[in-house]
Amino acid sequence: MSGVEADAAARENAEDEIVLGVLDAVERDRHITQRHVARELGIALGLANAYLKRCVRKGLVKVGQAPRRRYAYYLTPQGFAEKSRLTARYLAHSFSFFRRARAQCGEIFASAAARGQRRLALVGGGDLAEIASLFAREYPVKIAGVITVCAEADQLAAAVATLGKVDAAVVTALVSSRETYEVAIAVFGADRVYAPSLLRLRRPTVEAKNERAA
């Protein structure tokens, strides 16, 4: 790769990281201000404003009116999909991915075991599933299987049925992780689904679901 190509790739990665940060901030707090976005991402206020506007133009974020002349931002279905794509890309190029994945999966396994959930299904194949499978041996849990086909609740339920007794699920999908997470919750229930924090997933609320469907 030439110096020019390397610089272009670095700029693209930096821009993607800012967009990911904006989408993550909006999902976490729909009433977040541009000033808070700028402070959280460590960028200038004008740059935060520009990236928010870009996300709106691309259909990733919608803007609604909130009380006290403020705005409410929330992610569109396209926004959730783009956040998932950028998260997967960021993790794939992150040198700390393996270390973070190991530590966070360990926390999940310990928590599940403490709740008596010892037979776990991994939902989503790939690098994260491989890391989880490898280090599950260090904890009092057993991986019942890795399910890769999980786009619909009935598909996931059918796949789970072939594994025998399953106490809980761990989302390990790097691509379409949000959709996978929601399908897993629909099948297992929220108290039986775990996800490493590096996937940047949050439990969907009824209000958020209604807004996304609108």
Alpha-carbon distance 157 to 184, whole Å?
9
Q: Which residue has the higher pLDDT, 205 or 185?
A: 185
Q: Is residue 37 predicted with pLDDT exceeding 70?
A: yes
pTM, to two decimals: 0.66
Give the pLDDT of residue 150.
Answer: 72
pLDDT of residue 5: 54
Into which CATH architecture does domain 97-199 fall? 3-Layer(aba) Sandwich (3.40)
Structure confidence at residue 194 as a pLDDT band (50, 70, 90): very high
Q: Which of 19-33, 64-78, 181-195 has the highest mean pLDDT?
A: 181-195
Number of other CB atoms surrounding residue 76 within 10 Å: 18
How do 119-123 and 168-171 pair as beta strands? parallel
User: Which range, 71-85, 160-174, 192-206, has the best average confidence (pLDDT)?
Assistant: 160-174
- Confidence grade of residue 121 (pLDDT, cut at 50, 70, 90): very high
Q: Which secondary-structure segment (H or E) carries 56?
A: helix 45-57
Q: Is the pLDDT of residue 174 over 80?
A: yes
**How far is 177 from 75, CA to CA, in rounded Å?**
15
Instruction: Determine the pLDDT at residue 6.
Output: 45
Nearest by Cα to 144 from 175, 117, 114: 117
Of 13-17, 160-164, 179-183, 184-188, the poorest mean pLDDT is in: 13-17
Arithmetic mean of pLDDT, 32-38: 87
pLDDT, mean of residues 22-49 = 86
121 beta partners: 145, 169
User: For residue 207, what are its two tokens?
Assistant: 């209000």
* CATH no. of 3-92: 1.10.10.10
* Domain spans of the chain, in order of start: 3-92, 97-199
Is pLDDT larger for residue 1 or for residue 11?
11
User: Closest Cα partner for 22 from 97, 85, 73?
Assistant: 73
In percent, how much of the chain has pLDDT > 70?
A: 84
d(CA 169, CA 82): 24
Task: Output the average pLDDT for the chain.
Answer: 84
Q: 29 falls in which pLDDT band (50, 70, 90)? A: confident
Q: What local confidence, expressed as pLDDT, does residue 207 receive?
A: 47
Q: Would you state the pLDDT for residue 213? A: 47
Range in 1-10, 81-90, 185-194 the model is least confident about: 1-10
